[in-house]
Amino acid sequence: MAATYLDSLNAAQRKAVEHDPHIPLQILAGPGSGKTKVLTSRIAHLIMVHRIPPRSICAVTFTKKAANEMQERLQKLIGKQQTREVRMGTFHSLCSLYIRKYAVHVGIKDNFTVCDNEEGKKIITTLMKPRKELLKEKEIVLSSANIQSKISGFKAKGVTSEALLEACPPFHPDELNTVKIMDRILSEVYQEYEDTLKKNNSLDFDDLLLVGLELFSSYRPSVTWCQHVLVDEFQDTNLTQYGLMRALAIAKCVTIVGDPDQSIYGWRAAEVKNIAKMQRHFAGTEQIFLEQNYRSTSSILKCSLAIVSQDKKRIPKTLHTTHPAGIRPILRTCDNESHESALIAMEIKRVIAHMGGALTWGDFAILLRFNALSRSIESALQKEGVPVRMLGGHKFFDRMEIKDVLAYLQLVDNPKYAPAFARSVNVPARGVGEKTLTEISGQADSLGIGALEFLERIYDGEIPDIKPPVKRKTTPFVKVIRSLRAHAASGAMPTDLIRELVSVVGYEEHLRRTEPEWETRWENVRELITFAGDVQKDMLEGHVPEDEYAAFD
């Protein structure tokens, strides 16, 4: 096995894989240079040659897709059992796992709910409603998405809501400086947003990293297991993620893979300077360049290098390939979007005509900065008789029907999670409108309890019904939640809970009545059950404790 995975590497790749695990290493890998192959081979080498236990290795990626790809490759080298033991996943999944495990040490409950971006935006939209008239009066445009982005940026840089509120003093009603007004509103909303999350027993994605950093930095037993840390796409790490790497690397054994030339997430608080910072914080850090490209033609590489080489401060590295020169990239300048669109359509037709059937319409791709730019291009393609198919849409777990089902399960797990309550209480429709929801939430807040508990107390006759009355409308909802809660407490598996849920509430019929593409949406629900079954199967095999699998899958 060892000869197989080492012999397939080029000289630079092999040097990186066999590098002394006790000396911090930076693998600076250009695009198409086989960095994933090197990273997985290094993990295998650490386990098989240096005898580092798989459970003592932490491999961090930026996406679940990247983690899954790495797991698949690693399984072929060391087998399924040892691969499962490697702590592999995103920064967020790693933090989620250990926060739940050691929640008491950071002052939160272990059944917290992760508030996703969509729910976070809804919270901010609600908080902005009382300020609507003020913004209109001051002629200020401040969207929920913009505020959410700014809050995320503050959290990435470690700026707390308290610190921001103190730095942005209240303004006089006659204040004309819109910057001061916007800063104060932003600081207030940030503070209220944090209070809402706390009341809901929830953390947003940024909180996972911040609380994880607090845990790893202050409670040593949460990191003593880690003997070697590997981080992929290191050029995209922000300050918090860099702090997480340092906190985990108590043994000072680190391998990072990155490419400063591919640092494109500065707008999302990524710090390419972390590469230089690591050399200061980890004495003796060495660098290995992967400069053999296996993906592109030499014409594309020459074009790319000509562009990035204009940055005189970049780390001097190159890329070379054994592929032929290929077709030269072409840069065209157009007068306007109509000219550009017509040019694209005509060029596709021209290439098709000259290739004698070697290419089909499906062999062409048009990349857009955002979907709104497609209108002119679609029109031009249609005019020239070029068939077009728009790609995109919601990710699986962002789809309406999936979020509906998961909202019920979230509420069973965390009864205080207000976004899940607001989503599920009227699905299927129970005649609970926005005004009624506001009344329920307001009275629940006055009692210091969650909205679900408020409805349960009404149902049990412990408190009087509100006006207009909601007991009759919400009784079926309360019964569903209690039934699911009882089954969950008795050890029912997720697949059983989902099946019971969709059956009891008649979710298929609900989709049939309300959604034109109900069959597709129902098929997605069935796929969710299949997914839950796969997770159960792996957990029941006993390879990974349930809480760990939930975070890293």
**Residue 46 · residue 228 · CB < 8 Å:** yes
Say if residue 129 carries a ligand binding annotation: no
Taking each helix axis as running N to C, give the angle between helix 507-514 and helix 400-413, from 0 to 180 degrees, rounded to the nearest 10: 140
How many Å apart are CA 41 and CA 309, to the nearest integer? 31
The DSSP letter of residue 227 is S
The alpha-carbon radius of gyration of the chain (Å, integer) is 27
Taking each helix axis as running N to C, give the angle between helix 400-413 and helix 471-489, from 0 to 180 degrees, rounded to the nearest 10: 70
User: Which residues, including other chains, have CB under 8 Å from residue 337's CB and lie 6 or more apart?
Assistant: 373, 376
Please, which residues bridge with residue 286 across strands? 25
Q: What CA–CA distances, in Å, run from 314 to 234, 260, 263, 273?
A: 16, 8, 11, 11
Say if residue 31 carries a ligand binding annotation: yes
Which residue type is seen at 517?
E
* Chain-centre distance for alpha carbon 87: 18
**Residue 35 · residue 242 · CB < 8 Å:** no
Say if residue 322 carries a ligand binding annotation: no
Say if residue 32 carries a ligand binding annotation: yes
Q: Which of 270, 283, 275 is nearest to 257 (CA)?
A: 275
**Residue 352 · residue 359 · CB < 8 Å:** yes
The DSSP letter of residue 320 is B
Say if residue 34 carries a ligand binding annotation: yes
Say if residue 36 carries a ligand binding annotation: yes
Say if residue 476 carries a ligand binding annotation: no
How many Å apart are CA 296 and CA 321, to the nearest integer? 7
Taking each helix axis as running N to C, give the angle between helix 178-199 and helix 144-156, from 0 to 180 degrees, rounded to the nearest 10: 80
Detail the residues annotated as belonging to a binding site for ATP: 29-36
Detail the residues annotated as belonging to a binding site: 29-36
